Structure 1
């Protein structure tokens, strides 16, 4: 018998008033013991999904299941779910031990059991010996570990994390990404992590759900989402992308601005208008004579491990290039790319809007 998904959303809609729909008929299933990330811009519904799972709100319609059991109206304190909030929500008047022990005391566990569980949780987050420390005396990273320890001490099935790294500086944020991922693997729990940072999502997740305007645009592994975005929104939101208008000539052949190129995509209609994605790191600088396309260099920035070039072709399309080679600003260069670097996407706009977008490019950018 197949194990039921740990979480299942079935036609879930959430609205706050008659004109504000936050989630629009959401359907998905989450397996046990994986690290999931809900990724998307502000207001797309990420935190609302967490709050629905936690029991802080109920769906306007549809059903939510935990281990196959309907939980729409199950109170938050009766769900095997704990949340790490963005501001950590620690009690400033309690020390580390008392913050972590708070939920255990509500359950009226024995003093010895509470002490054992708190000490074990502190070891898990590398804070053993900090039990008597005051919250005000701790750094941002240490406070976050306390919040995580408080979440795991009750042995929940699911841990929800609502942008818990957003208040940390860049270096500490990177360190905590590794720590959270390692912690999830050691615990074997289901983590559901909310962020609007695509690099964070790519680095930490088993599976990513990309949300936009209350709907799931695409879900899959980080590699799937990055290499095979389903539409323009996902391609533009996940990583840096060159997205240009094109036409599918036939299987394995695409037309871009007067030129035809080999690709690896098939199954679209001949002469179907499409969007083309080529990642900046897949473009190779060469001479104009040897390049598949000719571009003019507009700006160049040094990013430490590579140069970032903003270039334009004769049709006005911008091509962002990541390269270890330098190029002179204002010069013309050639760009090469493999057929595997071209990703073809069906339009998520009308052909009329597509044509208007194509007309708007013009040649102004190339001329400057």
Structure 2
């Protein structure tokens, strides 16, 4: 049964006059794949550095297995980090790179050999022990960096955007490999990225960060299907977001019309944001649409067309469809009540979660 291995309690981190983390609190359970997701400068790498022991919090507590580790040095933590640039030694071969940390610890040669070969087997590099780093591909170098981290048998593996230097095809392949590796090993992975598709594909749980705070946490499907605010909805996937008014439970007004929805628990006539995903909107004949619009532009994305339509009030709607309409064509936009997601302004994650739970009750 999973237990909490890392906990942040009201952690603040300041550099000079800049507050990088603003009273951040969360829990990390053992054996799961977590992703810290957000734009550059949001504080996600700072969290990784605090867990690794490369930095100390200005205030608040960081706990490992229930014990405060604010002052515990990096080399005393059961944590290893895979950096964005891999930080491999170019003058050493694969075996020597992976064995480096074990030699520093002065382990017996026979024990080092067993650990190194097992780590290379886990990342599918057996037989390449004598290969020079300069002769390896980007994906192979990444595996060496992971093997060097795993050889120390950490309870937590921290990965700071390790796929960012790879081309798209290799990056996608390595996403699958990393996820499979984490499942096999059963240790906790904490992965940092600004790529939302990467986060959705790999994670058990995502922390969406913005401006030094965690905006929302949850499973990939929870984050995608039920974003808490405009930032999360816009950052995770493609979204259509318009201003609206919650008339009453299960009835929302936007673009001058009222629509049934599945949201409730808000004040009557409360101003809200309304989001609909492009894949949840269908192109239909004008008379069958809940909204009428005109096709403005379209782009072919391989598996679908990305279609931009303008309604009578000038709002732009993005639609993903396998149908190819003509530019300038009048179309209807159709969606179901459950495709409409209503977001309150400034709602806390605790209140948001409680409101969602009330739907089930």
TM category, shorter: over 0.9
Instruction: Report what 1:265 is aligned to.
Output: 263
Give the counterpart of 1:144 among 115, 131, 142: 142
- Off by >6 Å, runs of 4+ in structure 1: none
* Cα offset, 1:217, TM superposition: 0.1
Aligned length: 347
Give the counterpart of 2:21 among 18, 23, 26: 23
Q: Is the 8 A contact 2:273 2:342 kept in 1?
A: yes
Deviation readout 1:189-209 (Å, 9 max, x if unpaired): 000000000000000000000
Instruction: Report what 1:14 is aligned to.
Output: 13
Instruction: Report what 1:168 is aligned to.
Output: 166
Deviation readout 1:36-79 (Å, 9 max, x if unpaired): 00000000000000000000000011110011111101010000
Q: Distance in 2 between matches of 1:248 and 1:47?
A: 38
Instruction: Report what 1:283 is aligned to.
Output: 281
Q: Is the 8 A contact 2:2 2:30 kept in 1?
A: no
Residue 240 in structure 1 maps to residue 238 in structure 2: yes
Q: Secondary structure at the match of 1:27?
A: strand
Instruction: Report what 2:94 is aligned to.
Output: 96
Q: Secondary structure at the match of 2:95?
A: helix
* Cα offset, 1:348, TM superposition: 3.7
The normalised TM-score by structure 2 is 0.95
Instruction: Report what 1:361 is aligned to.
Output: none
Q: Secondary structure at the match of 1:326?
A: coil
Q: Distance in 2 between matches of 1:313 and 1:189?
A: 50
* Cα offset, 1:150, TM superposition: 0.4
Give the counterpart of 1:74 among 69, 72, 75: 72
Deviation readout 1:306-329 (Å, 9 max, x if unpaired): 010011111221100000111111
Instruction: Report what 1:179 is aligned to.
Output: 177
Between 325-334 and 146-155, report the one with greater CA deviation: 325-334
Q: Secondary structure at the match of 1:74?
A: coil
Q: Is the 8 A contact 1:246 1:276 kept in 2?
A: yes
Q: Distance in 1 between matches of 2:296 and 2:124?
A: 48
Q: Secondary structure at the match of 1:6?
A: strand
Q: Distance in 2 between matches of 1:95 and 1:169?
A: 24
The normalised TM-score by structure 1 is 0.93
Q: Distance in 1 between matches of 2:235 and 2:82?
A: 25
Instruction: Report what 1:364 is aligned to.
Output: none
Give the counterpart of 1:86 among 68, 84, 87: 84
RMSD, aligned CA: 1.0
Q: Distance in 2 between matches of 1:90 and 1:76?
A: 19
Q: Is the 8 A contact 2:2 2:31 kept in 1?
A: no
